Amino acid sequence: MGHPAILTVDDDPSVSRAIARDLRRKYGEQYRIVRASSAAEALDALKELKLRGGRVAVMLADYRMPQMNGIEFLEQGMDLFPNARRALLTAYADTDAAIQAINLVDVDHYLLKPWDPPEEKLYPVLDALLDAWQATGDREIEDIRVVGHRWSEPSYQIRDFLARNLVPYRWLAADEPEGRRLLEAADAGPESIPLVVTADGRALARPTTAAVAEAAGLPTTPGRDFYDLVIVGGGPAGLGAAVYGASEGLKTLLVERQAMGGQAGQSSRIENYLGFPDGISGVQLTDRARRQATKFEAEVLNTREVTGLRLDGSARTLTFADGGEISAHSIVLATGVAYRPLPADGIARLTGSGVYYGSASTEGPACAGADVYIVGGANSAGQAALFFSRYAKKVTLLVRGQSLEASMSYYLIQQLAQTDNIEVRTNCEVLSAHGDGHLQAITICENKGTLETTVECGALFIFIGAEPRTDWLGTTVARDEKGFVYTGPDLLANGSRPKGWDRDRDPFYLECSVPGIFAAGDVRANSVKRVASAVGEGAMAVTLVHRYLEAQ
């Protein structure tokens, strides 16, 4: 029982033998290949493995099976081995079913029959699934326990941080028996909430996210003092730069202040990203990109906020909020944008207590049976509406403009229209939020102020505006009036190079007003606000970093 198992189930004997044969040929030395001819037989095998302390890395199930199809089997298999990666084996005609499986049981991948040659169509998929499983292992969700209040903003911040960083945890309400028992065991009173208890029994009262990151084993300290490339921001642009920088031999460090993935990491489903025809969640895309970067030995730092930039000759030095510093030959700014605060009465008071910025997917189950409102008209708001429609009684999208067409992708507009419990209301804005201790209602203004209504509201999610996180740059790097960073051609005024430019060349396309500092993704002035373009700019920035370093 020492080797983890790869379980495959198919009721067609010839297919079952073929896939078991191909799996043994590539993975037989490191994994135990378990073959079953029916879903019931496979479940019996999983139960036996569980009782005997075995581990399951991947479950691969055929979609069309009698009595219990592959989706139904994977749903039950998840109860026994929640960390096992899941794949569906399907014929071309059943690809719609595979897409449903992704939505129902978060299937990681589907494989089309036939998969010949396995070197191209089977092994790369299994390699990725096994890498993902090895990254998480068999940790139980009880590794970290969080005791807090449902409507407490500090409690929400800890839960959101752990979820966005893919750290398994268990949430315990402070007013429920198990939560009270844990508080008593830690000799902790109400002033200690939120209380975080680590796997080794340490109790952290009202911890900072940095303390939680350290307790969860997330890297927070750089391994060296000087790098070839430091990337500020862990969204798609930053992750793209980290993958390409490290894979091309640069000593690369990626610094993120909150959670990898940025706003894209909060998306419940990205369906227009190249190479994922059935869509992928922002968390999954982020996790794959992070693992890819670390595979090439890029260093990743969590919960480190950059607060300043200094030029030390040819070195560029970044300062952290805690007083630390890091230097590099080159820097890529990929800090993305933040949602703009909603200037309505009561919003600030109730933020984290029913009012949230971004999708806050941890709140999904808590929205069961509630009326949920979402403010915004771009893709992120549409994706959130679809996500919360799985839980809420009704989701209402409040759009300030006259329609969604100018700001949202066509495919999302169509999906919203086809979802029964989603309503889109245009020419609307929120005037105020009401509630005693937590959000209970909102007042909406419609038709340019001609109509005001107050409605019950279980949760309000805000997706408006885009403010770059660049105040810390001061006057060192040229920015526009909104704070977006100028690069390349935008720095040339009537053909003249930027003030203080000391190179006998024009700035490279993504280069800032300081040589060796580049910007990529949403933080860059006049950039295209899409995940794919951000990843592309991150990769392009590394090419320009090489050109800069070669000329040094």
Query: How far out from the chain centre does Cα 512 lie?
Result: 28
Residue 223 has pLDDT above 90, yes or no: yes
For residues 447 and 402, give the distance between their C-alpha atoms in angstroms, rounded to a whole number: 10
Mean pLDDT in residue range 499-508: 93
pTM of the model: 0.75
* Dihedral angle sign, alpha carbons of residues 375, 376, 377, 379: negative
pLDDT at 71: 81
Residue 93 has pLDDT above 70, yes or no: no
Residue 175 has pLDDT above 70, yes or no: yes
CB half-sphere exposure, 69, CA atoms < 13 A: 12
pLDDT at 138: 57
Residue 266 has pLDDT above 50, yes or no: yes
pLDDT at 96: 64
For 290-321, give one letter per residue: b (16+ CB within 10 A) or e. Answer: bebbbebebbbbbbbbbeebeeeeeebbbbbe
Average pLDDT, the chain: 89
Mean pLDDT in residue range 266-294: 83
Banded model confidence at residue 2, pLDDT cuts 50, 70, 90: confident
Share of the chain above pLDDT 90, in %: 59
Residue 519 has pLDDT above 50, yes or no: yes
Mean pLDDT in residue range 89-111: 66
Residue 309 has pLDDT above 60, yes or no: yes
The vertex-209 CA angle with 206 and 212, nearest 5°, equals: 80
pLDDT at 370: 94
For residues 370 and 465, give the distance between their C-alpha atoms in angstroms, rounded to a whole number: 26
| Least reliable range by pLDDT among 66-75, 105-114, 125-134, 510-519 | 105-114
Mean pLDDT in residue range 365-386: 92
Residue 140 has pLDDT above 50, yes or no: no
Q: Which two tokens stand for residue 26?
A: 């590539």
Banded model confidence at residue 141, pLDDT cuts 50, 70, 90: very low
Q: Which two tokens stand for residue 331?
A: 């820097």
Q: 393: closest CA among 379, 373, 376, 418? A: 373
List of residues 6+ apart from 482 with CB closer than 8 A: 467, 468
pLDDT (tens digit per residue) in 313-339: 999 999 999 999 999 999 999 999 988
Cis peptide, bond prior to residue 194, ω within 30 of zero: yes
pLDDT (tens digit per residue) in 386-406: 999 989 999 999 999 999 998
121 against 483, higher pLDDT: 483
414 against 169, higher pLDDT: 414
Q: Which two tokens stand for residue 273?
A: 């990203």
Specify the 3-state DSSP secondary structure of 366: helix
Q: How many CB atoms lie within 10 A of CB 85?
A: 24
Banded model confidence at residue 103, pLDDT cuts 50, 70, 90: low
Residue 270 has pLDDT above 70, yes or no: yes
Between the two ends of the chain, the Cα-to-Cα distance in Å is 56
For 342-372, give one letter per residue: b (16+ CB within 10 A) or e. Answer: bebebbeebbbbbbbbbbbbbbbeebeebbb
Assign residue 170 a region (left: φ > 0; alpha: ψ between -120 and 50; beta: otherwise): beta
Helix or strand run (H / E) with residue 390: none
Q: Which two tokens stand for residue 53?
A: 């302390």
Q: How many CB atoms lie within 10 A of CB 446?
A: 15
pLDDT (tens digit per residue) in 11-67: 888 889 999 999 999 999 999 999 999 999 999 898 888 777 788 999 999 888 888
